[in-house]
Every structure is written in structure tokens, then in C-alpha cells.
Amino acid sequence: MSKAKVLLIGSNATRIELQGGRTAATGQYLNETVVPAIAIIEAGYGIVLATPDGTKPHIDEISDTPDHFGGDRTAYDRAKTFYAQDPAMKHVRTLRSVIEEGLDQYAGVFVPGGHAPVVDLMQDPDLGEILRHFHERAKPTALLCHGPMAVAAAMPHAREFRAALIAGAPAKAAEWARGWQYAGYKMTVLSNTEEKIVEDHILHAKLYFNVVDALQTAGGDVITTKTDFEAHVVEDRELITGQNPRSDRPLAEKFVAALDRSLVSA
């Protein structure tokens, strides 16, 4: 019997828009999904994986390497096996179905990164409903790397906000962001200098907007490290955010600690 259940929100996006009308393959990062998931389970919690359409998230091929596990082949193999075979990763629900069955049964929510959440999750109305539920009850809400961009879904006009960012209209985006529940929260997300490395060496093109700028436009107090790809986690009230792939373990530790505190105070 687990202590409680945690909702793991996955993306179904497989392509992301690039400037010039192109797109690039995308998905979730393997380590960002699996490392926290295993830590949550090992801490005694159960996991329910849910996505917008109820199908399993696609793992970004760029992340499918031992390099994202500190070069540890054993850890990488364990992660691959876990994602492929663990029941928690095989039985995927829709976001709508978990809402209809009741969100009160979940102690916390976690959103991993990869660019995918910037495509679908940040403008998904069901995720918006989920985030507002956890925010209103001050339940632990953790997001990693590009995952923190998903908190935009809680806005009253998340789709319009994203469309304004793509159109290069930050002032209009700020208007659409009015009433955002996380305005004024301290948070982190993949930094602009880290994103430039991704654009230059992986995407070979520019994205329509940087996630740091987007969250700042919405009213977030975004804090990033001066050193690229240095582990960094920010915790403010119920919100726990990690900056980059190397923040997977530190974020998991803070999230589990927050879940434990939440259970004690319940």
C-alpha cells in the first residue's frame, strides 16, 4: 500500500515549431521523466501517468543516452527498462479521466521536461484545471526543465497567451496572462543561454520564444544559474521547479520532501 498517489503529467507532442515555418522532432526527456518517477515510487508513493490523449509520451531521442545519467550505463539501462515495462508507465490515463474521477486522491503533481510541454501542455485546458486544483489546495506541484512552461495552462487564456508569444507580441501576451495564479512566484526553467546551446547544436534553428522570457512576461519571478547546465531547483510555496536535465535528482528530493510534509500536515 502506497502512502498516496502522485499524478505524473506527460505530453503527447512529437513536433515543435521553429522560426521560418519549420518544425523539429521533440518529446519528453528520458531522465527527466524516469529519475523523479523512480524516486517518488521508492519513497513509497504510487504514480498515475496521464496525458492529453491518453497515449504514452514519446521520448526525445536526444535524451535517450547514458550521457543524461552521468555516463552510468547501468542507470540508463534501468531507466529504459522502467519506462518500457513498469506498470506505472504502461497504464496511461487521459487528463480528463483523472479529473472526472477526482483530483483529491492525489497528493501532488509532477511534469517532466523536454520541449514537448511547450507545445501542448502549456495550452491544455484540462491541465489548467488540474493545476488550479493543486494550487488552490497548496499541494506540491513540481516541474522540470521545459516542464515549468506548463504552468501557463492555469491561465484563463493560455492558448491566446501562447499564440501571442509565437506572433512576437509580448505586450499582448502579458495582457492574456492577467489573472495567472503563479504571478509573483519564484521559479526556474531552462535558461536562455542553455536554450541557445540547444538551438545551435541540436535544433539548428531558433524557437519562436524562450521559456524564461515567456514566464517573465506572464509575471513569474524567474531565477536561473550563471553556469549553464548546473543543477538548480527553486521552491516557492507549493511550486517546485528545476532548471535543466541535471536538476532531475535534486528536484525529486525536494518534491518527495514536500509530499511527506503535506501528508503530515493533512
Instruction: Look at residue 98 in the predicted model and tell me its pLDDT.
Output: 98
Burial readout 91-107 (b: 16 or more C-beta within 10 A, e: otherwise): ebeebbebbeeebeebb
Instruction: Look at residue 2 in the predicted model and tell me its pLDDT.
Output: 83
Distance CA 222, CA 212 (A): 7
pLDDT above 80: residue 266:
no
Average pLDDT rounded to a whole number, residues 126-151:
98
Instruction: Look at residue 141 in the predicted model and tell me its pLDDT.
Output: 98
What nine digits make up the cell of 155?
A: 491561465
Distance CA 10, CA 33 (A): 9
Give the Cα-Cα-Cα angle 241, 235, 181 (nearest 5 degrees). Answer: 75
Instruction: Look at residue 16 in the predicted model and tell me its pLDDT.
Output: 98
Instruction: Look at residue 265 in the predicted model and tell me its pLDDT.
Output: 82
- Among residues 209, 258, 213, 202, the alpha carbon closest in space to that of 233 is found at 258
Q: What is the pLDDT of residues 61-102, one digit of tens each?
A: 999 999 999 999 999 999 999 999 999 999 999 999 999 999
Q: What is the pLDDT of residues 2-58, one digit of tens each?
A: 899 999 999 999 999 999 999 999 999 999 999 999 999 999 999 999 999 999 999
Instruction: Look at residue 40 in the predicted model and tell me its pLDDT.
Output: 98
Q: What percent of the chain has pLDDT over 70?
A: 100
pLDDT above 90: residue 211:
yes
5-265 topology per CATH: Rossmann fold (3.40.50)
Average pLDDT rounded to a whole number, residues 162-174:
98
Instruction: Look at residue 1 in the predicted model and tell me its pLDDT.
Output: 76
Roughly what angle, to the nearest 10 degrees, separates helices 211-218 and 158-166?
130
Give the Cα-Cα-Cα angle 147, 151, 152 (nearest 5 degrees). Answer: 115
Strands 46-51 and 22-25, by their bridges, are unpaired
Distance CA 211, CA 209 (A): 6
Domain ranges of the chain: 5-265
